Chain A
Amino acid sequence: MVNVIADQPAAPVRRATEGPWRTAWRKLKRDRSALAAFGVLVVIVIASLAAPLYARYVSGTDPFVTNLNGEIVVDGTTQPVLQPSTEGLGLGTTPIGPTWRLGPYLLGADNQGRDVAARLLYGGRDSLLIAGAAAVLCLVLATFLGVVSGFFGGLVDIGLSRILDVLWAFPIFLLAISLSIVLIAQSIWIGPFEIRSGSLWLPVFIIGIVYVPYVARPIRGHVLTLMQAEFVTAAIGLGASPWRILWRDIMPNVVTRIIVFVPLILALNMMTESSLSFLSIGVQPPDASWGTIIQDGQGLLYSRPIVALAPGLAIVITVLALNILGDGVRDALDPKSSPRGV
């Protein structure tokens, strides 16, 4: 047998290697459950954005105005929206139940005669908005703190780490509740920005900061390991400035970590927002979120359970989709999670 290869002049073989983003995207595209979850999320976002359209063209009622004496026509008969109660002593009223057909009161009314289906869509808008904005705030703050702490080390690191330690040990939920109770009834000033009492930005601010230690700590740890990596030593050896090392060597590696956090933080934020709103210290009336609608439905739990069930299901579906997507993103971006040798 002739050794063909040895006779050839050594031609440099350069295979174009795939960039990390491309690899991640390819993996994510193959992950069918993650794609399905993403699809569900897109549908939920679009439905929520279409809330005003639904209220105007389908339900035909303003979901923020009480409708105590209204009447609607169902199956040819006229029915009051708030019907005399048939349970107990027959005192008080029970809101109309679901009609289960497109039109007014698809999912029935709450105890103020407001259309639950329309409120559900509006509530989704606020829930998603708060979760999203709080996630941005949290990730920006956490990245800043984590990178600064890990990159500069020394006194800065010690100071920041101790502060994060204290916040870390503070029961997260109690911290959120404490802040909400103190802040919810008044306007606060953050630098030049005023947050009015009852504003949606208040829950954003509170939810945004309470999870900062959860993200900042792992990012700091990651930066610390990166600083020991050979390519950073090489960059230092080549005389690269600290800024160059920070932007060219550290940040690109940190960014993948942050992206992995995005769906998970969104899911956490959704849960926290709904819990705070359920305790009536999150979103304030007249605004509605899924949490506040569950709270509205609490008094009607045994007579009209749909008022509390529907927003809860919406939360479960959204958070589940975020968690599935989160798993997919992690598998795609985190090289360690891929099976060995692949």
Chain B
Amino acid sequence: MLAALGFRLGQMVLVMFGISIVAFLIFFATPGADPSARIAGRNASQETLLQVRHDFGLDRPLPVQYGLMMNRLFISRDLTSFVNRGQLVVPTVTEAIPVTLSLVGGAAVLWVLGGLVVGVIAGATRGSFVDRALMILSLVGVSVPVFWLGEVANLLTQSRWHDTWLFSWVPPLGYVPLTEDPWGWFKALIIPWFTLATLYVGLYGRVLRASLIEMMQEDFIRTARAKGIGERRVLLHHGLRTSLVAFVTMFGLDFGALVGGGALLTEVVFGLQGVGKLTYEALQTLDLPMILATVIYAAFFVVMANFIVDVVFVFIDPRARDVR
């Protein structure tokens, strides 16, 4: 078991290394995408270009540039932004993490609860009207672009129905730190939470339903029924428990991807200064060190999530212990 974990850990480090190289190559070695031209601005003279190139170390060989960047990112942690001179990259990213974690964490609670409720009810009432209605709603949830849903939410809560009793409590767009004002934090995030969770409630509900229905045809369910266990207990204790394996895998990956910048669109629409929005702004100004830091940070979360899922798996599913 330890060997399996060690193997995964090694694989994880390799994948991280690969990702940092891919990210670096995309921004520094794509033919025609000269970072110094972007920094120097349009119509910069040849001397300015050369000067910029030298200042930022862009005239060195690529492997050296890569090494320097990684060194300043991970070891000395003094990597500075290309655009806002003097702005340290690592603290800027660290400051944005609580915002993203608040957004994704709250949404995750909503979508896990919502997905469980939808999946179990639909699975238990398979083929009924309730099941069909829930599945259509889930499919609609999966089909709505999150940024558009966010805009519709803003339209209703900030403008159209803002003066009615329903949404008069909604604060203006932006983030309120949890440590300063917990209630304000909650009020500022509740609409973004629902917006972000919609897609995943639909997704998880559908997956859980399918997996429940498959499980309920297994032999061990028949055995449980034959022993005289009530249908509700069979469903929740035998069927649901085994179905949750797929659920846990999906949750780990989605959570990692969202914390790692997947919530970008939600953050942009609701004006939340999280890692996603930071990435977006850095991308627009082509602030390479910032982009590299956020992308590697994001990949780190995704790979971490993968790893944690694997570890959790070893504990909840004994069959996974012998497999690499």
Contacts and interface: CB of A to CB of B under 8 A. Distances in A.
Interface string B246-287: 000000000001001110110010000000000110011010
A312 B15 CA distance: 37
A181 B291 CA distance: 11
The size bracket of the interface on B is: 35 or more
B159 interface: yes
A305 B155 CA distance: 8
A279 to B, nearest CB: 7
A340 B213 CA distance: 12
A319 B30 contact: no
Contacts of A1: none
A312 B33 contact: no
Contacts of A116: none
Contact of B30 (A170, A183, A187): A183
Nearest to B291: A178
Given A294-B147, A312-B145, A315-B145, A302 B299 contact: no
Interface stretch (A93-101, A230-238, A270-278): A270-278
Interface stretch (A21-29, A161-169, A251-259): A161-169
Interface stretch (B17-25, B74-82, B91-99, B220-228): B17-25
A68 interface: no
Contacts of B23: 170, 178
B264 to A, nearest CB: 7
B143 A316 contact: yes
A279 B279 CA distance: 12
A174 B261 contact: yes
B15 A165 contact: yes
Contacts of A177: 264, 279-280, 283
Contacts of A338: none
Given A171-B260, A301-B151, A182 B159 contact: no
Contacts of B299: 169-171
B1 interface: no
Contact of A319 (B14, B18, B143, B160): B143
Contact of B268 (A279, A302, A319): A279
A169 B151 contact: no
A280 B226 CA distance: 60
Interface in B1-46: 14-15, 18-19, 22-23, 26-27, 30-33
B229 interface: no
B257 A275 contact: no
Interface string A285-320: 000000000100010011001001100100110011
Contacts of B295: 171, 174, 178
A179 B18 CA distance: 17
B154 interface: yes
A121 interface: no
A183 B33 contact: yes
Given A166-B19, A171-B299, A188-B32, A312 B151 contact: yes
A66 interface: no
Contacts of A316: 140, 143-145, 148
A173 interface: yes
Contacts of B261: 171, 173-174
B152 A312 contact: yes
B262 A173 contact: yes
A323 B306 contact: no
A172 B160 CA distance: 35
Given A178-B295, A181-B283, A302 B158 contact: yes
Contact of A278 (B15, B147, B298, B303): B147
Interface string A171-205: 11110011101110011110000000000000000
A182 B143 contact: no
Interface of B: 14-15, 18-19, 22-23, 26-27, 30-33, 139-140, 142-145, 147-148, 151-152, 154-155, 158-160, 217, 257, 260-262, 264-265, 268, 279-280, 283-284, 286, 291, 294-295, 298-299, 302-303, 306
Given A169-B302, A174-B264, 18 more contacts: A166-B18, A166-B19, A169-B18, A174-B295, A177-B283, A178-B291, A181-B284, A188-B31, A189-B31, A274-B148, A281-B283, A294-B147, A301-B151, A301-B154, A302-B159, A319-B143, A319-B144, A320-B143
Interface of A: 162, 165-167, 169-174, 177-179, 181-183, 186-189, 267, 271, 274-275, 278-279, 281, 294, 298, 301-302, 305, 308-309, 312, 315-316, 319-320, 323-324, 327, 340
A-B complex: 3 closest residue pairs judged by Cβ atoms: A312-B148, A166-B18, A319-B143
12 contacts: A169-B306, A171-B295, A177-B280, A177-B283, A178-B27, A178-B295, A275-B147, A281-B283, A302-B155, A309-B155, A319-B145, A323-B139
